[in-house]
Amino acid sequence: MASVMEKKENNLVVLTIDVSPETFANALQRSFKKNAGRFNVPGFRKGKAPMHIVTKYYGEGVLYDDAIDFAANPAYLEAIKEHNLDVVSRPELDIQSISKEEGLKFTVQVTVKPEIVLGDYIGVEAESPEFPVSDEDVERDLVRVQERNARLLPVEGRAIESGDTANIDYEGFNDGVPFEGGKGASYDLKIGSNTFIPGFEDALIGKTAGESFDLPITFPADYGSADLAGKDVVFQVKVNEVKFRELPKLDDEFAKDVSEFDTLDEYKASLRAKLEESAANRAKGVFEDNVIKAVVDNATIDVPTVMIDNELDQMVNEQSQQMRYQGFELEQYLSYMGQTVDTFKEQLRDSAEARVRTNLVLEAIAAKEAIVASEEEVEAEIARMATMYGMTAEDLKSRIAPGENSFVSDSVVRNKTIALLVDGAVKVAAKAEDETDDAKKPAKAKAKTAKKKADKSEAGDASEEG
């Protein structure tokens, strides 16, 4: 096998590969053995004619399809290895010439991983936000716990009010015909929750248990189902029962009931501690994201479209699996939302490109810094993942096919690379809301690098230690 590589624009590479006559003759023999049973030649029982008779009767081309697979695939893989190519697309094969006497000559066009030109990645500046915990935050958490522990008690002697829970039977009719998804029995509907379409819950206010009535209503014009959007329908509704929520009193007894603490003040202090821990983790995550974004922005990459498309497929598959866990098919859900898989993909395209860029930059930094995963680190990561999935490390290992545990070491390398970047980054205060163009936008990283000589020296030290 001989091969020649030609680099083209947009990360395309064309390989011209020659398979020797001897190698191709062997591929023809393998093709004949595979297909011999289907050849029917006069004078021979089916499948019993020798190869030279079959090729004389049918022509040598009858064996080419499988022979090309037998000869081209290993030759292509050998050429990829010879030229040290990191292929990210399906190969596009084009036969140039083929015969038993001359062998096989073909070209393969592939897309390869792009060259990554790293910018500064040690000592980048990134905004580090603060998320202070206020007394109002603590009270809000306390009220949520209070509401979770509320009792539902029957309403007596009055009509439905906002905040009550009405148990109802209902069925919707469009031009007198029941429509799909418009029927429910013994459904608990909290009035004011905005669970149903606008106007439905308000119409229940003032009704009493045991009352039945018709509820004419119009579906919103932007409703997810095109069959019902903007339509005037009528619901037949029966109120079975009405309940109200009785909230427990917020005192020391409440604290004892819902926690291990003896006083309400102690319980509130524990809520504050949890909120502060969550806020610190959130700030850490945002700072980490800002650092990574700054590093990626500093790099120069021409990302191949095929890599973005592959990432899009991966993201759609992830979303599809999540929907299945919830009992839905993605296509069904998107149809309900008035979308298709293609429109959904386009919404994800920018995120997919950002993920590809981030992965490429982190891989390039890991390679440059010679970051690897030790056996101990891989074992620790498996143990961490097993705990997260609620199983033992041995159980998780048994589910990983031999030779397919590289994703664990890849995760370790990625985390170590991110830690290198974050540890070497320079924190800057997040801008005040009135200093930003849009106060609602999250703090963004500045793709800058500390310019002081001392910072450069520290960056160099960090690079050597990485």
Whether residue 451 is predicted with pLDDT greater than 50 in this model: the reply is no
Which pair of structure tokens corresponds to residue 50?
């020798």
137 and 65 belong to one structural domain? no
pLDDT (mean) for 36-60: 92
Rounded CA gap, 354 and 305, in Å?
Answer: 12
81 and 132 belong to one structural domain? no
Q: Is 24 helix (H, G, I), strand (E, B) or coil?
A: helix
pLDDT of 369: 97
**Is 139 domain-assigned?**
yes
**Is 177 domain-assigned?**
yes
444 and 405 belong to one structural domain? yes
Domain boundary residue, one of 53, 84, 111: 111
Rounded CA gap, 320 and 341, in Å?
Answer: 10
**Is 167 domain-assigned?**
yes
- The secondary structure of residue 304, as a DSSP letter, is -
**How many domains would you assign to the chain?**
3
**Is 13 domain-assigned?**
yes
Q: What is the CATH number of the domain that holds 46?
A: 3.30.70.1050
Banded model confidence at residue 434, pLDDT cuts 50, 70, 90:
low
Whether residue 207 is predicted with pLDDT greater than 50 in this model: the reply is yes
Closest CA to 106 of 197, 17, 9: 17
Domain boundary residue, one of 61, 90, 111: 111
Q: What is the CATH number of the domain that holds 206?
A: 3.10.50.40
**Is 405 domain-assigned?**
yes
**Is 340 domain-assigned?**
no
Q: Which domain holds residue 92?
A: 2-111
Whether residue 263 is predicted with pLDDT greater than 80 in this model: the reply is yes
Rounded CA gap, 391 and 218, in Å?
Answer: 50
221 and 80 belong to one structural domain? no
Closest CA to 119 of 363, 356, 447: 447
Rounded CA gap, 382 and 408, in Å?
Answer: 7
pLDDT of 328: 84
42 and 88 belong to one structural domain? yes
82 and 224 belong to one structural domain? no
Contacts of residue 267, Cβ cutoff 8 Å, sequence gap at least 6? 142, 255, 258, 259, 261
pLDDT of 411: 93
290-311 pLDDT per residue, tens? 999 999 999 999 999 999 999 9
Average pLDDT, the chain: 90
* 404 compared with 59, residue with greater pLDDT: 59
284 and 381 belong to one structural domain? yes
pLDDT of 435: 52
CA atoms within 13 A on the CB side of 28: 24
211-228 pLDDT per residue, tens? 999 999 999 998 878 889
**Is 417 domain-assigned?**
yes
**Is 173 domain-assigned?**
yes
